[in-house]
Amino acid sequence: MRIVSDAELGAVLSGLPDLPRVVASGNFATPWRILAVLDAALPEYRLFALNAQPGIPDRPGVTLETPFVGAGMRRSPRLRYFPCRLSLVPHLLTETLPPDIVIVHASTPVNGMVSLGIEVNILPAAIETVRARGGLVIAQLNPRMPYTFGDGVLATSEIDYAIEVDEPLPTPVYRPVTGVSRAIGEHVAALVPQQATLQLGIGLVPDVVLRALASRTGLSIWSEMFSDGVLALEKAGALDPEQPITASFAFGGDELYDWVDHNPRVRMLRTEKTNDPGLIARQPRMTSINGALQVDLFAQANAARVHGMIYSGFGGQTDFVVGALHSPDGRAIIALPSWHPKAQVSTVVPRLAGPVTSFQHSYIVSEQGTAAIWGCDASTQAEQIISQVAHPEARDELRGAGRELGFALT
Q: Do the Cβ atoms of 105 and 30 come closer than 8 Å? A: yes
Burial degree of 396 (CB within 10 A; 0-12, 13-18, 19+): exposed
For 304, list phi and psi in degrees, rounded to 5: -125, -25
| 2-164 topology per CATH | Glutaconate Coenzyme A-transferase (3.40.1080)
Mean pLDDT for the chain? 95
Alpha carbons within 13 A on the beta-carbon side of 61: 10
Residue 343: CB atoms within 10 Å: 10
Pair 135, 97: CB distance under 8 Å: no
378: left (phi over 0), alpha (psi -120 to 50) or beta: alpha
Q: What is the mean pLDDT of residues 126-152?
A: 98
Q: Answer whether 335's CB lies under 8 Å from 184's CB.
A: yes
Q: What kind and span of H or E run contains 163? A: strand 161-164
Q: Which position among 65, 119, 224, 367 bears the catalytic label?
A: 224
CATH (residue range 179-404) = 3.40.1080.20
> Would 2-164 and 179-404 be classified into the same CATH topology?
yes
User: What is the Cα–Cα distance from 152 to 120, expressed in whole angstroms?
Assistant: 5
Alpha helices in 50-173 (DSSP H): 89-95, 123-132
- The C-alpha atoms of residue 408 and residue 322 are separated, in whole angstroms, by 28
Contact assessment for residue 57 and residue 48, using Cβ atoms and an 8 Å cutoff: no
Asked whether residue 154 carries a pLDDT value surpassing 80, the answer given is: yes
For residue 176, what pLDDT is reported?
Answer: 85
| CB burial of residue 174 (10 Å; 0-12, 13-18, 19+) | exposed
Say which residue, 176 or 10, is predicted with more confidence. Answer: 10
Q: Which residues have a Cβ under 8 Å from the Cβ of 194 and sit 6 or more positions away?
A: 216, 218, 285
Query: In 3D, which of 149, 191, 188, 143 has the Cα closest to residue 167?
Result: 143
Q: Are 14 and 42 in contact (CB under 8 A)?
A: yes
Nearest to 90 by CA among 318, 317, 324, 276: 276
Residues 333-373: tens digit of each pLDDT: 999 999 998 888 999 999 998 889 999 999 999 999 999 99
Check residues 203 and 207 and name the one with the higher pLDDT. Answer: 207
Report the SS3 class of residue 24: strand
Contacts (Cβ under 8 Å, ≥6 apart) of 272: 87, 90, 125
Collapse the DSSP code of 110 into the 3-class scheme (helix H, G, I; strand E, B; otherwise coil) and give the result: strand
pTM: 0.95
pLDDT digits (tens, 9 = 90+) for 66-112: 999 999 999 999 999 999 999 999 999 999 999 999 999 999 999 99
Which residue stretches of 261-330 are H helix? 271-274, 277-281, 317-325
Listed by start position, the domains of the chain span 2-164, 179-404
Largest CA distance in the chain: 72
Measured between its terminal Cα atoms, the distance across the chain in Å is 69
Can you tell me the distance from the alpha carbon of 184 to that of 168, in angstroms, rounded to the nearest whole number?
33
> Which range (48-62, 197-211, 322-336, 387-401) has the least confidence?
197-211
Instruction: Supply the pLDDT for residue 205.
Output: 81
65 has catalytic annotation: no
Query: What is the C-alpha separation between 113 and 154, in angstroms, rounded?
Result: 5
- Percent of the chain at pLDDT > 90 equals 91
CA atoms of 188 and 290, how far apart (whole Å): 10
d(Cα 367, Cα 369) in Å, to the nearest integer? Answer: 6
